[in-house]
Chains A and B, each alone.
Chain A
């Protein structure tokens, strides 16, 4: 197999990446993961030494959006190298083999790399009707996920569907869809990257961390890495000063909208959504939803399709709104109070829907309970 270090150096060189750029990138990753400066050297050593780790990517009740996100990795360019240094042995959207040859590739990985490969799951897993709502090669998603995830060294649930059940699990959850954690109970090395889709920059950082330290970074109660989900969007938002100053968009295209005022009144869910969008942004840092004038829809949170809707109705009970209060006052409220506001909002929208005599949300399908739960 040759000398790993020289191979990696060649790979970098082929891609026009200098040694200096690579070291710089390692520092960036270390910073993103909130690690001390000395960690960057450790990351550089680990990534260069590692044999290409095997990764299999499973798609179940998905829209392929996380795969598309994966294909957009662009910043820094060395991130592409790291992804390229994985051996992606199974991924239906990109793999050349089809049919039983494709199935054989997956079986081979599970058999020969048992306990060593990384499994990424995209999409929710339907448990209704004996698994008939999603089959691949005649096997149900439940059967495949238990076998493949159960034998993996580590599992990444990529996107809100794989994490919490997502859209298929939205009320009334017609197919009894679940996230990986619920569909495959007892997984020890599961980590969740929610959001719709998950941002590839977070996937890259996560994989590098794993290769470096042989374990997942610190996580929150939903098993999401704190480096990406540790802070509310509202707190890092570039429009936060306008919220604090009471400057809001009142109508689409008005003076405030064009000036970049706060989108809170238009329904922004930034105060109750934990994700690093404002910092990392999207598509190589080009932009992000609030940056283009649309409110956050809370896509990283459990059951957001039920609890963050109607999307254009503003949250109630968020401290600072309408008070023109200052930042210090908001700080006193903290995350718990914001969570309570979120819970109240979720409850209100569910009650409204019940009142209309429409579908009954399925509490189990609504994902793991979180900040204050969803009970009124």
Chain B
């Protein structure tokens, strides 16, 4: 039995540590630990709830829109504000473009190097790469000359002896399986995607002033004025620019990302049998298509248990609880129980080893993440959960996309419950959203043409229009999965605030009943050819797209004495 520690887990957002026992070339057990904590919910107490979105937005600068969206929805739910249709459309566009850009960055810049050996690309024949590229897509940058240029550039980089971010990696590992020609193609697209992401996210600059940390959110609507006759508003010119960027996004996704995904997956089909995890999936649903409280959602909510695609349960927010049996917190009334987020409580109590340390005591508490449970069970959230719930709920376009991909790979639906399934679902969702976005832009244009220029519900802006005591919940599907914010407002200020976050669902530790979290469960039986270089372990962890700063954010108001503790 070998005990391995991966810390830092890189190519993620935030600070994640994985410890695992490896025996006979397989992971026998695993522990997921988050090693950073800020305490944003405590900071929110006593503040104006209209400001909360900007605070929670800073939980994460990668998925830089998601906590702002969940926050304004929670406060609107509490005070009864009703954003007008244009605000819904602007938000849908912002949410979808976030998801599309984020998924592409994940595939090329955070995950690809687990599957692509950059050093191998140095021995590629550019002509073979061109043949491969042209066989899977009509993307124009696919000539032998182009790939020779990329190879020369890579060679010059390596020859200079300063490998920078590519130094010390697992190059040459036996688990890398792409031929040199495919590796070179992937390197070319890694570089193209860097330029692409910078361009398409300008959608956010148009609609939100800047990215990261867009600044156009408002409780009750959006701050981006709409008026076809004004230079200082979103007008026909802005819509044309957004349309151009959407086309650019769609073009790259359909002609580069999806063909690459299917090509790479073809070499790694065994990963359709690895990394399955808990097999329970939770989705809150996203993209309201109407302006009523129970609006139809483009991506439906639902719960799947035990990989049973024949049955999608209705999502019931009352069934969510958070546990701390293995988390560095304490509950009044003991650590054995779970608490609903509306009654949430989070007092930090660090009992881990004093840094610097070598090992965590995984039998005791070992993470800054709590363990969210639904009806007592660990749940996987994210693109795979969303695609499965939509697929099983009869979403026609999702069924087409999923069946198409399964057909091309020659595998059945069971292959979805895996590391490869997670990677594939993320790509298919990207394609789905990239093609959907334009319909919201068209609707916005139609409203503009009808002179419906409303962007905000002014009737609930002033705190004296709010109930004295109000509670609300805001649900959202972030790129990494189901996100919920719960707020309690009293006398115009925040009394309590709780976030239950996708990476808390996925990366959380064991609960009191001993259920592993989804990362931990998914790592079981993952092959590890070389315990010194656990490349395979990274594949499964990265397939969830960890975002750990999102996961750890909570603290309780009563823990005031912490402010007095100063180590310096």
A positions within 8 Å CB-CB of B: 1-2, 7, 10, 14, 52, 54, 59-69, 71-74, 86-89, 91-105, 126-140, 142-143, 166-168, 170-178, 182-183, 196-197, 251-253, 257-260, 282-284, 286-294, 297, 305, 309-313, 353, 356-360, 362, 364-365
Contact = CB atoms under 8 A, between A and B. Distances in A.
Contact of B223 (A178, A292, A364): A292
Given A63-B61, A252-B456, A258-B226, A127 B566 contact: yes
Most chain A CB atoms below 10 A, which of B36, B40, B352, B549: B36
A99 B207 CA distance: 39
Contact of B493 (A96, A137, A356, A360): A356
Given A71-B198, A252-B223, 14 more contacts: A64-B14, A67-B61, A88-B165, A95-B10, A95-B165, A104-B168, A135-B15, A167-B43, A197-B212, A253-B221, A259-B230, A283-B198, A359-B42, A365-B563
Contact of A99 (B61, B149, B202, B534): B534
Most chain B CB atoms below 10 A, which of A127, A128, A135: A135
B5 A99 contact: yes
Interface in B200-240: 201-202, 204-213, 215-216, 218, 220-221, 223-227, 230-233
Given A258-B226, A310-B48, A97 B169 contact: yes
Contacts of B61: 62-69, 197
Contacts of A100: 5
Contact of B209 (A52, A127, A177, A289): A289
Chain B interface main SS type: loop
Contact of B210 (A2, A287, A359): A287
Contact residues on B (Cβ < 8 Å of other chain), bracket: 35 or more
Contacts of A166: 58
A137 B8 contact: yes
B205 A282 contact: yes
A140 B356 contact: yes
Contact of B13 (A93, A140, A357): A93
A99 B9 contact: yes
Contacts of B128: none
Contacts of B491: 356
A139 B45 CA distance: 31
B55 interface: yes
A173 B563 contact: yes
B212 A65 contact: yes
Interface in B43-59: 43, 45-48, 50-51, 54-55, 58-59
A83 B216 CA distance: 30
Contact of A136 (B35, B45, B211, B567): B35
A132 B355 contact: yes
A97 B11 CA distance: 9
B523 interface: no
A136 B15 contact: yes
B219 to A, nearest CB: 9
Interface string B148-179: 01000100100011111111111000000000
Interface stretch (B260-268, B311-319, B464-472, B554-562): B554-562
A292 B215 contact: yes
